[in-house]
Amino acid sequence: MVIVMKPNATKNDIKNIEEILKELGLGVHISTGSERTIIGVIGDKRLIADTPLELMPGVDRLVPIVEPFKLAGRTFKPESTVIRIKDVEIGSKKLVMMAGPCAVESHEQIIQTAKFLKSRGVQFLRGGAYKPRTSPYSFQGLEEEGYRLLAEAAKETGLLVVSEIVSLKSIEQAVKYVDVFQIGARNMQNFQLLREVGRTNIPVVLKRGLASTIEEWLNAAEYIMNEGNYNIILCERGIRTFETYTRNTLDLSAVPIIKEISHLPIIVDPSHGTGKWNLVTPMSRAAIAAGADGLIVEVHPDPKSALSDGPQSLNFDTFNSLIDEVAKVAGVIGREW
């Protein structure tokens, strides 16, 4: 349930409601918009059955939340969330780009890539230190050394760092090196991991699961938010269907759906969504046209020699073309690149 306060409600009105709810043992989440404040009530609504909240000073109305995701939904927070990471905003008019290799392989590889990306106006360097793979014999990543190399590249270029965490141990390591956690598709419903990330205040890219519904995806975000971390960037990266021509089926309809039912920003991963480098640019154009707040794209100096996901990685020339084409689409729909 949410309590919608009147536009002229005072700070004392809001504080009084908050104190009553907490005394009843309920969770309280306050969202202050440009026109009015909304108080989210988390817990058993029967606890307030005998409390006439709607009659209290400053209260406009009580609104039940029918969706299972409370904190991530627009009923709780009608205004879109903008996440600020240093001097970069995600969810504002300006689009963001997260780019880099699927896996950190060497000092030379990540420094070369970071310098190139910086020259093209990219804000975030992405790269995997831990690589959960389908086969146990595939390259699994450099682990903490990978995080360290990402941080070194970031220091040299000024880029922000995005990298995947897969366990409590990796959280303890990553927090020393990265600006944004990434939770991959395979861990979207790793509820212990979600809770631990929720207890930090570090922004997180939450990828959609391999065959997860939108409701399941938002409920995964709810686990993080319920622990106090609201800095969540949703990422559509394709889902598994009967189609075998592409690696996954990139569900771009998820973008406008998320925009309608959730206040969280959403980016799109066309690399994993298609699995083919020649499809990444057209799907990037489509993602921005659909309303995505940015992209996360795999870029490698030499995709043919990549230790992970070479077939879906762009080289520097094809990434240049992607940037130019996406910028044109952004201008048409009133976004900035």
Q: Of the given ranges (33-42, 85-94, 113-122, 156-165), which has the lowest mean pLDDT?
A: 33-42
pLDDT digits (tens, 9 = 90+) for 189-223: 999 999 999 999 999 999 999 999 999 999 999 99
Whether 291 has a pLDDT exceeding 90, the answer reads: yes
Tokens linked to 23: 């005394």
Percentage, residues of the chain above pLDDT 90: 85
Can you give the pLDDT at residue 97? 98
Give the amino acid at 190: N
Whether 304 has a pLDDT exceeding 90, the answer reads: yes
Give the amino acid at 120: R
Can you give the pLDDT at residue 9? 94
Can you give the pLDDT at residue 136? 78
Can you give the pLDDT at residue 66? 81
pTM, to two decimals: 0.92
Round to whole Å and give the CA distance between 215 and 302.
Answer: 38
Tokens linked to 100: 């880099």
Per residue, what are the HEC states of the chain? CEEEECCCCCHHHHHHHHHHHHHCCCEEEEEECCCCEEEEEECCHHHHCCCCHHHCCCEEEEECCCCCCCCCECCCCCCCCCEEECCEEECCCECEEEEECCECCCHHHHHHHHHHHHHCCCCEEECECCCCCCCCCCCCCCCHHHHHHHHHHHHHHCCEEEEECCCHHHHHHHCCCCCEEEECHHHCCCHHHHHHHHCCCCCEEEECCCCCCHHHHHHHHHHHHHCCCCCEEEEECCECCCCCCCCCECCCCHHHHHHHHECCCEEECHHHHHCCHHHHHHHHHHHHHHCCCEEEEEECCCHHHCCCCHHHCECHHHHHHHHHHHHHHHHHCCCEC
pLDDT digits (tens, 9 = 90+) for 42-84: 888 788 888 999 999 999 999 888 888 989 999 888 899 999 9
Percentage, residues of the chain above pLDDT 70: 99
Can you give the pLDDT at residue 135? 78
Asked if 79 and 30 count as a contact pair (C-beta separation under 8 A), the reply is no
Q: How confident is the model at residue 298 (pLDDT cuts 50, 70, 90)?
A: very high
Whether 140 has a pLDDT exceeding 80, the answer reads: no
Can you give the pLDDT at residue 32? 85
> Degrees (nearest 5) of the Cα angle 262, 266, 272?
135
Average pLDDT of span 135-146: 83
Question: How many Cβ atoms sit within 10 Å of the Cβ of residue 242?
Answer: 5
Average pLDDT of span 82-93: 97
Domains of the chain listed by start with CATH number? 2-63 (3.30.70.1140), 83-332 (3.20.20.70)
